[in-house]
Structure 1
Amino acid sequence: MEKKMTIIHTGFDGIDLALKTTVPIELVEFLEEGKATAQELMTDVWGTFAGLDIQTGQSGKRGGYAFTFRIYEFGATWFAKKPRASDPWGLYVSIGSRELALNGLDRTRQTLDALLARLGFQLPHDGVSINRVDFAVDVLAPGFVLDPDAFVFHSRANRKAIAEFETEEMNGLSGRTTSVTIGKMPGRQVIVYDKREEVMKRRKYEWPLIWNANLQAAGLDPIDLSDRAKSQVWRVELRLGKDALRNRKDIRGWGSLHEHLQAEMDQLAQDVTLTVPSIDSNRSRWPLHPLWPTTQEAVATRLFEHVGTVPPEAVREIDLREKQLDFLKLIAANSVTLAYLDGLGPNDFEDFTETLPDRILGYLDQHPRGIAERFQGAAAKYSGILVR
């Protein structure tokens, strides 16, 4: 029998926007220089434009976008085109899950508008085209087992509606199914997956902070991800791509999003359901799995409701600590290898580390790249993660 299921996060998990605007020539020049440097160093680089710390990528994006960039303290990827009179849609912004989880939709929109103005972009009243919206429900569900055969398409859905969900993908790990995706973009899509597994594999350390802050706010005990049996977190994600947004309610800008998105997300949560299979040959009569009413209620009551429980600076502090730990691991591993190549053993290692500072300084003193230049390189790569 399934143990109690507890919602530990709900919120928008991604929003993609095309913007009808021309990239200011000064920003184009900045991005061209940054892209050239990034390609030379083979890594994204940081610079300053309009008082903002901006990280420029090595490449652009399909569709004519020449540049990729990110702005410090705003969790989104920006894609920009070189100005062309024949193409007024010069900017594309993909807002990520972290930004939306920490700040919610309204604050994220406010920040986006302020950044657009600061960068010199000008948009007409119809200058926003929403191309994708994802909404996530994270559920603490100890004992839950994902069954790919338990998904059912509602019997009231017509053949065209059913057909869009016939694309199904599954992934597994250690003999168990860790994700099931139904439907395909840019239409409608539902995915259920092991969020705990993804967080640990991809080192998304912000999510334990968010989950435990929400649990604490609800008067519940925090979870410990080291105990898998008690910390199974499953995410249900409902996704609407460009076709789904346009074809049903013609959702394009922010106004129509607020007007029609609730009905569209509710419908998606009804058209695809997770059930408990039974001997009944009519799948539409299979009872809903407890995870699904939990999800449906969250979508119906929390779609535009968001309360941030974790300050963004707390997440940036974790980013900084993890990057420092990454380099400490490299230093430790390389030091042991160097000691071994020097013919030393474990008992000699402590004395060996005392010689390292002089050896490092001696190496740097003889190298054609000076220490000032090396610090400039480090700043170009990593200044964006410093807590300020």
Structure 2
Amino acid sequence: MPHKPQIKIPATYMRGGTSKGVFFNLTDLPEAAQQPGEARDQLLLRVIGSPDPYGKQTDGMGGATSSTSKTVILAKSDQPDHDVDYLFGQVAIDKAFVDWSGNCGNLTAAVGSFAIASGLVAPERVPDNGIAVVRIWQKNIQKTIIAHVPITNGEVQETGDFELDGVTFPAAEVKIEFMSPVDPSEAMFPTGNLVDDLEVPGIGSFKATMINAGIPTIFLNADEIGYSGTELQEAINGDPAALERFETIRAHGAIKMGLINAVAEAAARQHTPKVAFVSPSASYTASSGKGISADAIDLNVRALSMGKLHHAMMGTAAVAIGTAAAIPGTLVNLAAGGGDRESVTFGHPSGTLKVGAAASQQAGNWIVEKVVMSRSARILMEGTVRIPGDVIPV
């Protein structure tokens, strides 16, 4: 039986923050995949190498972790005062599923660079030398993000001396501003409470801060679930019972946040919400062997992504951390020592991260104008990616 040859699709493989993903210009995709739907999902699954029952994504571009099983589609924006539309697809590893329910904050750091290099930003907005301000419309969550991209001699400056824990080599700093991560018309705290009692049948009852900022996130106290808050990946990812327990907590939290109606629906919404646990500042040794002093951080945070403890911290979860830390009384704020604060430095498995946020109350609702953090990004490879021609119609 004859088989269709492979098709070639222009693509760029990029690191953004502590994640990696395959970036596409919307107009470079086969016509059938330029619209949301099964054809697009099937294309991205095959590009990444999913579903893979072996859990390795050997026959694709994925790296078999939540941080490296990612795709991005960019297009010139038709939103007023925006340069580029950014659509993020989180590809499941062992399932035929692409989750479009949230953003990737880490890959956001690479969006401005790709947009400039691909001609999606008007030339007059890119200085010969200095900082290009790229206005990003995040389509998954309908929010504005501003990327400050360094430019040297008319081209994106990727090399530099900015160090980001969780990334091996230094690079140029890219400042990211997540503008109005929660609209005044939206509920930052879906339950109306800064802290809830989350009842999880068969497991227990836990104090929880459930917040929708950056990405829907459920924060727990580490000691209530049997942890110190200084754990590294192997302590949790090597424990199937713990992972199942976290997934059950996540599902019941998602119901309480109004994201799903039944526990069974959580399987089709793997990217959101996130589950994280917090603890007061304590010294530990990061995964690189670097010692983290309790004096260098305000608190410790560990977060799970796509069912596993993240090796560092998701950028969107960092937005949630910064926002919650700025609001007195949340579990994140209390773990950091309580009180008013406009920035927080937290420890994660790979090291530390500082994130800034200013919160205020207006008409009884908490408002955050923006959350700011620094990341870095770099093109790893560019050219074409190939998939078998029978994956989608062309």
Structures share a fold, TM > 0.5?
Answer: no
The structure in which a higher percent of residues are helix is: 1
After TM superposition, the score normalised by the length of structure 1 is: 0.29
- Could you say which structure has the larger radius of gyration? 1
TM-score, normalization: structure 2?
0.29
Structure with greater strand percent: 2
